[in-house]
Structure 1
Amino acid sequence: MMLDKQILRIPGPTPIPPRVEHALGQPMIGHRNPQMGELHARLKPKLAKIFGTKKDVMILSSSGTGAMETAAVNLCKSGDEVIVVVTGAFGERFADICDAHGLTTYRLEMNWGTACTPEKLKAFLREHPSVKAVFMTYCETSTSVLNPIKELTDTVRSESDALVAVDGVSCIAGVEANMDDWGVDIYVTGSQKAFMLPPGLAFVAASERAREAFKKNDHSRFYFDLNKYAEKIENNSTPFTPPVSLLFGLDEALNMMMEEGLENVFKRHRLMSNMTRSAIEALGIPLLTENKYASPTVTAVKPEQVDAEKVRKILIQDFKIYVAGGPKHLKGKIFRIGHMGYCSPADVFEYIAALEVAFKKAGANIELGAGTKAAQEIFLNA
């Protein structure tokens, strides 16, 4: 076995394309050099297209969690009432961030593995008519649920003047965002998932309403003050030193997406999700989420015949394929497959075939080849 080879099929960090790796290794330049301004000028229209906005997307040196906190502290101040839609561990994280900054946080709790519905959000908004903002998770990485952001945003708009902030960390660049058309006020995401980069960059897209809220908000912040980022990005810069090499890589990753065409990028992610889910179902192994809630970027598998952790260990020991475990109360009950970014249908065939072996060795009563056949049929009929 090639001991130095590992195949990442976790929901982030994800594999990095060779083109991007090459770009990351370009010679260093000063972050205030004219070349950096030219780089930002190239990045801005491509990032705006990913987010579906005419506004400049702000770039932070941060993880996705830093971007989530940035959204909270720029939109709201201590004492403001907010709703957080909790559909899993990262919805809980958004709520914890709001609590940490003294916001009055109302949690709309959903069963893990189900999406929030407009009807449930509408009822909750009517119970809390004074909220300043509603925080949601687009793809709940911990459960593989994709929340219906357009419909949920429409619901907020019909019931209140609350701002809408969306964590899109594990799906933006793999699914449509359509910020302007859907009326989302803030999207945040990170670099290490569908953007095909190492961790270290975060992106914040903000509406005009959100930008007005930033200006009026007197909540304490310094490094994560989005007023500074909004001002600097207009002049093709950042307020603080960025990770220059990651920006080189971002430029190339965005070039790859533009060459493929965003519609094709989104279709590829949906195809890989359908192939994966059909394969698991054909093996008789349960999935955590229903198809109507399924994310195109990550799939949560809930085996009942065998231990999920045993399957994960076999994948690593026999094939050096890494999938993620379950968080919190789902630990040991599920595993999660990431199929986003630098991933293709060929990669799906690879991990499905390996999964069949792992399930068999773990003691599951499955038919070898059934999952692969199901994935092949989905691919052929796409």
Structure 2
Amino acid sequence: MQDKLTLMIPGPTPVPEKVLRALGKHPIGHRSKEFQSIVSHTSEQLKWLHQTNNEVLTITGSGTAAMEAGIINTLSRGAKVLCGDNGKFGERWVKVAKAFGLQVEVVKAEWGCPLDPEKFQTALNEDKNKEIQAVILTHSETSTGVINDLQTISKYVQTHGRAITIADCVTSLGACNVPMDEWGLDVVASGSQKGYMIPPGLSFIAMSERAWQAQQTSDLPKFYLDLEPYRKTAANNSNPFTPAVNLYFALEAALEMMQEEGLEAIFTRHARHRSATQAGIKAMGLTLFAKEGHGSPAITAVLPERIDSETIRKIVKQKFDILLAGGQDHLKGKIFRIGHLGFVSDRDVLTAISSIEASLQSLNLLTTPMGAGVAAAAKILQ
């Protein structure tokens, strides 16, 4: 059946009908009072979502734009940084930092395992001359389905005294608790096509006062991603460049839906979907890729031993019109990933689990009784 594709990937995520209707409205002038009213409203909504009193700036660009902005607006040439690397996106931040001439010390963990907070503490404690200026890491590592202990790592960074925390929260914000002010986070970056439930095209960055102080002395090259003009124009509910007007319409509608649901309910729903997905996968005889107890509430990575993951993805899409994500780099063909963040319901999770189970049965690769996966997931959801 045409036009029935269901996205169960870590982004883009499904978009609610209310948000699609808002997105389809006729554009308005981005310097008009009407648009300024929308900017004012969404600014307050974004502060609510980030649990912060700091300004949350909106950039027309992907989550990578927000992360790069966080790096280049707070650091200077030759600055020493610690960079967490336990997946594709941690690896990316190492590359970005090196591209701007930073001295990068990598805190590494095997893909599928979380970053060890104690390694960060050791490196920070050994920095007697306070040369480390930032700790850069990914909260929810999308490539492996692992959630890192951002709260503990941030606590160690605060103890250091000089360094700031720059966090990629692209697949964690809106899926789990990320209280920026409470955890003392300095830079939080995210993107619209994940927990925000709107199409790709906007990124968001919030900076603490410590981060803004660092911005005053940063000398890395920047123009479009120079956050000072964004901050100045935000004070007047505007933007230094032409923003994606219709995505703002969608953002306002999506954040209204999130506020109606409430933060605790959102976090509980994502945690429930993680538990149900994990239970269903294990009950059908498959292996979770993320280390036990460290799975992200946004995405579950599956290691189907002795089975080509791309074959499973292909059959699930062809027979059931459900799109699952594949593995990246050396994990291509070895794992598949089930996205369960944003506008995802209990029904979506059950449908995905049953489709994977039916696909394995059609390949004569199901090693457990048919229906065991769905029963295990349903038990969690009930």
* Whole-angstrom CA distance in 2 between matches of 1:21 and 1:306: 38
Q: Residue deviations 1:60-111, cap 9 Å, x none? A: 0010111111111111122001111011000011111101111111111111
For residue 71 of structure 1, what is the aligned residue in structure 2? 70
* Whole-angstrom CA distance in 1 between matches of 2:234 and 2:112: 38
For residue 316 of structure 2, what is the aligned residue in structure 1? 315
For residue 39 of structure 1, what is the aligned residue in structure 2? 38
Q: Cα gap change, 1:359/1:215 in structure 2, threshold over 3 Å: closer, same or farther? A: same
Superposition pairs of residues 233-244 of structure 1, within 5 angstroms:
233-244=234-245
Superposition pairs of residues 105-254 of structure 1, within 5 angstroms:
105-128=104-127, 129-254=130-255
For residue 377 of structure 2, what is the aligned residue in structure 1? 375
For residue 266 of structure 2, what is the aligned residue in structure 1? 265
Q: Residue deviations 1:286-308, cap 9 Å, x none? A: 00113321110100000113111
* Whole-angstrom CA distance in 2 between matches of 1:366 and 1:356: 10
Letter in 2 for 1:365: T
Letter in 2 for 1:375: A
User: Which SS does the other structure have where 2:158 is aligned?
Assistant: helix
For residue 10 of structure 1, what is the aligned residue in structure 2? 9
Tell me the CA shift for residue 125 of structure 1: 2.4
For residue 100 of structure 1, what is the aligned residue in structure 2? 99
For residue 364 of structure 1, what is the aligned residue in structure 2? 366
Q: Name which of structure 1's ranges 337-346 and 157-166 shifts more when overlaid on structure 2.
A: 157-166
Aligned length: 379
Q: Residue deviations 1:240-265, cap 9 Å, x none? A: 11000000000000000001111101
Tell me the CA shift for residue 160 of structure 1: 4.1
Letter in 1 for 2:216: K
Q: 2:324 touches 2:336 (CA, 8 Å); kept in 1?
A: yes
Q: TM-score, normalised by structure 1?
A: 0.97
Q: 1:13 touches 1:198 (CA, 8 Å); kept in 2?
A: yes
| Identical residues among aligned pairs (%) | 41
* Whole-angstrom CA distance in 1 between matches of 2:147 and 2:156: 17
User: Which SS does the other structure have where 2:111 is aligned?
Assistant: coil
For residue 348 of structure 1, what is the aligned residue in structure 2? 349
User: Which SS does the other structure have where 2:287 is aligned?
Assistant: coil
* Whole-angstrom CA distance in 1 between matches of 2:300 and 2:361: 20
* Whole-angstrom CA distance in 2 between matches of 1:163 and 1:374: 43
Is there any run of 5+ residues in structure 1 with no aligned partner, and where?
none
Q: 1:306 touches 1:364 (CA, 8 Å); kept in 2?
A: no
Q: Residue deviations 1:122-157, cap 9 Å, x none? A: 123245551110001010000011111111100112
* Whole-angstrom CA distance in 2 between matches of 1:141 and 1:213: 29
Tell me the CA shift for residue 3 of structure 1: 2.9
Letter in 2 for 1:53: T
* Whole-angstrom CA distance in 1 between matches of 2:275 and 2:306: 23
For residue 326 of structure 2, what is the aligned residue in structure 1? 325
- Does residue 55 (structure 1) correspond to residue 54 (structure 2)? The answer is yes
Q: Residue deviations 1:283-340, cap 9 Å, x none? A: 1210011332111010000011311111111101111111010011111110001001
* Whole-angstrom CA distance in 1 between matches of 2:43 and 2:92: 29
For residue 302 of structure 2, what is the aligned residue in structure 1? 301
User: Which SS does the other structure have where 2:167 is aligned?
Assistant: strand
User: Which SS does the other structure have where 1:241 is aligned?
Assistant: coil
* Whole-angstrom CA distance in 2 between matches of 1:96 and 1:305: 33
User: Which SS does the other structure have where 2:52 is aligned?
Assistant: coil
Q: 2:313 touches 2:323 (CA, 8 Å); kept in 1?
A: yes
Letter in 2 for 1:335: F
Q: Name which of structure 1's ranges 206-215 and 126-135 shifts more when overlaid on structure 2.
A: 126-135
Q: 2:77 touches 2:219 (CA, 8 Å); kept in 1?
A: no
Letter in 2 for 1:200: G
Q: TM-score, normalised by structure 2?
A: 0.97
Tell me the CA shift for residue 35 of structure 1: 0.7
Q: 2:83 touches 2:105 (CA, 8 Å); kept in 1?
A: yes
* Whole-angstrom CA distance in 2 between matches of 1:307 and 1:351: 18
Tell me the CA shift for residue 115 of structure 1: 0.9
Q: Name which of structure 1's ranges 155-164 and 305-314 shifts more when overlaid on structure 2.
A: 155-164
User: Which SS does the other structure have where 1:216 is aligned?
Assistant: coil
Tell me the CA shift for residue 365 of structure 1: 1.7
* Whole-angstrom CA distance in 1 between matches of 2:177 and 2:235: 25
User: Which SS does the other structure have where 2:104 is aligned?
Assistant: strand
Letter in 2 for 1:26: K
Q: 2:114 touches 2:291 (CA, 8 Å); kept in 1?
A: no
Q: Where has structure 1 moved over 3 Å in runs of 4 or more?
A: 126-129
Tell me the CA shift for residue 360 of structure 1: 1.8
Tell me the CA shift for residue 117 of structure 1: 2.3
